[in-house]
Amino acid sequence: MRRLRGMAVAVAAVATAMVAAGCSTATTHVGTGTKVTGQLVRGGKVTVAEVGVSPNFMFPYAPATNSDGYNVNLTMGLWPPVAYDGDGARSIVNPQESLFSSLTYSHNDSVLTIVLKPWKWSDGVPLTSRDFSFTYNLVKANYKNWNEYTPGGFPTDVKKVLTPNAHTVVLDLTRSYNPTYYTDDILNVVTIIPQHAWDKTSATGKVGNYDETTAGAKAVWSFLQKQGGDMATFTTNPLWKVVDGPWRLGAFDTSGYYSWVPNKNYSGPDKPVLDQVAWTPFTSDVPEMDTLRSGTSLGLAALPLNDVRQIGALESEGYLVAEQAVPGVAEIVPNLYNKAVGPLLSQLYIRQALEYLINRPQIVSKVYAGYADPGNGPVPILTGGGWASPLEKSGGPYPYAPAKAIALLKAHGWKVTPSGVSTCAKPGTGSAQCGAGISAGDPLQFQLTYSSGSTSFDEQEAAIASTEAAAGVKIVLRAEPFNTINATVGVCNAQSHPASTCGWQLLDYGYNPYALDPSGSGLFNTDATGNYGGYSNAEENQLINETEYGSSQAAFYAYENYTAEQLPFLWIPNQSLLLVYKKDLAGIAPLNPYSGGLNPEVWHYVKQGT
């Protein structure tokens, strides 16, 4: 399961002038593992710039048709998940930000007991196990219309939910699980929502216990999802004023601008110090960098990687730089169900040739100035820790090798025309022929759609198109705004591949962030919500299942290496996050890689000279 889908550096940040509400000279806890001694300034505003993307949905459980995982940037600070990924820069579950006080797996890891913290909602009502059962009932009745659902996962893997007291939830699971996987990759997308405020079927209706019947749960879900898409009422709708996170929504407009203000009744330890955090849209990274260079009172900005040569100058002007490798994989998704090129992309040897023609080391060096994961397979090298296999660490199964790509194509009946367009010369399904559904004269030509607004992305796609041409593969580039892609691109598989949303051929949607356990669940399973191109392989499904149910490293390596070789995605480098910030804006580093570096409840200004 995945929290986000978006550009690898979807967030650039700038800070407006500090407005001091007061100072504290005591040692103050302002964040996980962070203690500040000196004059901590209370108050102030930080403005964060969105480059190319903006959220458009408020209800934490977005519908299956809404693939814009960037919405979590709008909602996560208001309604945190049961298990919150990342503790500072450490790749562990954050015990302070999470909603549980303890997790206990028993009965051969088929029963999970969750003890919830005695927190309260912003309106003063206690958060209880009834809120969990409400959440479960809604998702159980509507999981097919939830964009985070993975086949076989939560809630269909739960036989029953028991709530023995106000703060205890017992999940009787359908099978034994690897506890690390279940905590890291399941509980991190389960967001508890307020039954006392949201269990209703209309804006004027009374709160009841509608969720306790399937029909009632469907009606409540339908109502909440409709409200969740009504952007004009995000700040006025009383539903969204009931939160349990450190923030509440302060402002929102359809241009992409929104702000958070502190939840004064937040129960957690990391209570916001700032008065406001505001996100404002930028059409590309160029105006964002121009703003930074202008010398105005900017406190925080994401540094486009094509501007890394500016680091020295920025540091001399009083900025600090924080680097964070992003836990996840970047990819180009092949659409196996596109009517024109699906038969081509369904051939493993063609995907192998395409991968051999991607010069990943050159992209890391020239496009990302070394600030990127090499992208050798389904597990990142820089943040994968012990999960990255020796095969991936050695460069993956398909290092840049144009000669191998040309040999593969010729061996399967292609007339290879370097710098031109290769064509099928031997149609048919034999071992030396082009393959099923491919006709004589069919060209190796594909349209690659990608998110616009980033110079680095432009350079990366141009580099890929250039190296693919060495074997006569013509790549036609098409840059579209992220929100446009999100509205026109759908999951394409054997059950659903409508022309209106499956006309794309190759798609660089950005990257897929991983939870702490980088399992392929939700990405490579048959019919998974993140499996946009329709890849389906029974052996792949089984290998993923084995990583979920057990904790064997050998089983994980078997899944990882098989996936790297099968190429459900074409692997490409994943750029790191660089944040530039003023020395008086503290709490930025160490970055939490699992929140995109953005945990503004721990940000604060410090008076100069202390």
Tell me what pLDDT residue 235 has.
Answer: 97
**pLDDT classification of 609: cutoffs 50, 70, 90:** low
Whether 469 is covered by a domain: the verdict is yes
| Residues 219 and 133 reside in one and the same domain | yes
Task: Round to whole Å and give the CA distance between 603 and 34.
Answer: 10
| Residues 218 and 361 reside in one and the same domain | no
Whether 303 is covered by a domain: the verdict is no
Whether 221 is covered by a domain: the verdict is yes
**Which tokens is 540 given?**
């792949």
Tell me what pLDDT residue 515 has.
Answer: 66
Instruction: Give the range among 57-66, 362-371, 577-586 with minimum mean pLDDT.
Output: 577-586
Backbone angles phi, psi at 343, to 5 degrees: -60, -35
**Which tokens is 34 given?**
């962070």
Write out pLDDT tens, residues 377-390: 999 998 877 789 99
Whether 110 is covered by a domain: the verdict is yes
Whether 304 is covered by a domain: the verdict is no
Task: Round to whole Å and give the CA distance between 360 and 365.
Answer: 9
Cis omega (within 30 of 0) for bond into 590:
yes
| Residues 254 and 349 reside in one and the same domain | no
Range(s) of the domain holding residue 220: 11-273+580-604
Q: Are the C-beta atoms of 558 and 386 separated by less than 8 Å?
A: no
Write out pLDDT tens, residues 213-250: 999 999 999 999 999 999 999 999 999 999 999 999 99
Q: What is the b/e burial string over 546-582, where b = at least 16 CB atoms within 10 angstroms of the residue's CB? A: bbbbbeeeebbbbbbbbbbebbbbbbbbbbbbbbbbb
Please give the share of the chain, as a percent, with pLDDT higher than 70: 89
Angle ∠(184,188,193) on CA atoms, nearest 5 = 155
| Residues 217 and 233 reside in one and the same domain | yes
**pLDDT classification of 52: cutoffs 50, 70, 90:** low
Tell me what pLDDT residue 503 has.
Answer: 93
| Residues 228 and 338 reside in one and the same domain | no
Instruction: Give the range among 136-140, 482-486, 560-564 with minimum mean pLDDT.
Output: 482-486
Tell me what pLDDT residue 558 has.
Answer: 95
**Over residues 505-519, mean pLDDT:** 80
Which helix (H) or strand (E) element contains residue 260?
Answer: strand 258-262
Return the percent helix, strand and coil in the chain, to nearest 5.
Answer: 30, 25, 45
Higher-confidence position of 295 and 16: 295
**Over residues 330-335, mean pLDDT:** 96
| Residues 104 and 196 reside in one and the same domain | yes
| pLDDT of 431 above 80 | yes
What is the number of H-type helices and E-type strands within the chain? 16, 30
| Residues 489 and 535 reside in one and the same domain | yes
What integer best gives the mean pLDDT of the chain? 86
CATH code (residue 243): 3.90.76.10
Residue type, 295: G
Task: Round to whole Å and give the CA distance between 58 and 71.
Answer: 7
Write out pLDDT tens, residues 404-413: 999 999 999 9
Higher-confidence position of 36 and 504: 504
Instruction: Count up the domains in the chain and report the number.
Output: 2
608: exposed, middle or buried (C-beta count within 10 Å: 0-12, 13-18, 19+)?
A: exposed
| Residues 208 and 230 reside in one and the same domain | yes
- Which CA distances in Å does 604 have to 48, 271, 277? 14, 11, 11
| Residues 543 and 590 reside in one and the same domain | no
**Over residues 156-161, mean pLDDT:** 96
Whether 519 is covered by a domain: the verdict is yes
The predicted model scores a pTM of: 0.74
| Residues 259 and 390 reside in one and the same domain | no
| Residues 390 and 522 reside in one and the same domain | yes
Tell me what pLDDT residue 71 has.
Answer: 79
- Which CA distances in Å does 535 have to 16, 257, 333, 408, 563? 46, 37, 10, 21, 11
543: exposed, middle or buried (C-beta count within 10 Å: 0-12, 13-18, 19+)?
A: buried
Whether 283 is covered by a domain: the verdict is no
> Nearest-CA neighbor of 440 among 419, 420, 414, 468?
414
Whether 316 is covered by a domain: the verdict is no
**Over residues 485-505, mean pLDDT:** 87
CATH code (residue 380): 3.10.105.10
Q: Are the C-beta atoms of 548 and 284 separated by less than 8 Å?
A: no
| Residues 567 and 585 reside in one and the same domain | no
| pLDDT of 344 above 60 | yes
Task: Round to whole Å and give the CA distance between 338 and 497.
Answer: 8
